[in-house]
Amino acid sequence: MTRRLLRPALTALLFAAPASTLPISRAAAQAVITGNQSMTATVETIDPETRTVLLRDKKGGLLNLTIPKDAKNLPHLEAGDQISVRFFQTMAADIAAPGTPLPESTVSSAKGYARRHPHGTLVSFQRQRVKVVTVDAAAHKVTIIDHADITRTITVRQKALQPLLNSLKTGDDVDVTTMDAVSFSVLNRTVNGDVSVTEKTGEQTPAVTPAH
């Protein structure tokens, strides 16, 4: 679960505030750390149909979390549970080579125990392919069209991402990846005896056909 775990990636990637970076290949922009936060919260409500969990933090603020449908191997949560949760997110973009398969989104989840508390982890890689319409590297701007045929002109504000613009040209396909990692422990429950960890990895969600 995460704050809209499978959010549209490209706009958030390019408009985000300056952040830490992780180096990757020459054909790609650096992976940017866009989120890193820990908190303790109370589970207010759980909606099984929409797979959303409403949390209230210590200051009374509300946070609505969405659990992907493929994340089936997580500790059970109930209203009133006290949880400690950490969010970590990175985003990256790279030019897709002609003829390469569409990127696939994946979700992995695991449950076990941490200090005798039920503990869960969830890692999601949300990938989408967009097409470059125009690029103005000097002005740090690029116009793209996504799988829904929506065209946007975006100003690239992060220095770590700007070098990629020099490699882009009209017609290029760009793969954008958002990685969300979430871990949480249920603080109001403890277990005794032997404990174990179970894991479910590599669940894939259908790729999206790119716009042309």
Q: Cα(114)–Cα(45) distance, rounded to whole angstroms?
A: 24
CA–CA gap between residue 1 and residue 147 (Å, rounded): 25
- Residues 196 and 190: their CA atoms lie apart, in Å, by 14
Burial class (CB in 10 A: 0-12, 13-18, 19+), 41: buried
Q: Which amino acid is at 140?
A: H
Tens digit of each residue's pLDDT, the chain (212 residues): 444 443 333 333 333 334 444 443 445 556 888 889 999 999 999 999 999 999 999 999 999 988 988 888 899 999 999 999 999 999 888 999 989 999 999 999 999 999 999 999 999 999 999 999 999 999 999 999 998 999 999 998 878 778 889 999 999 999 999 999 999 999 999 988 655 545 455 444 444 334 44
Is 124 exposed, middle or buried (CB count within 10 Å of its CB: 0-12, 13-18, 19+)?
A: buried
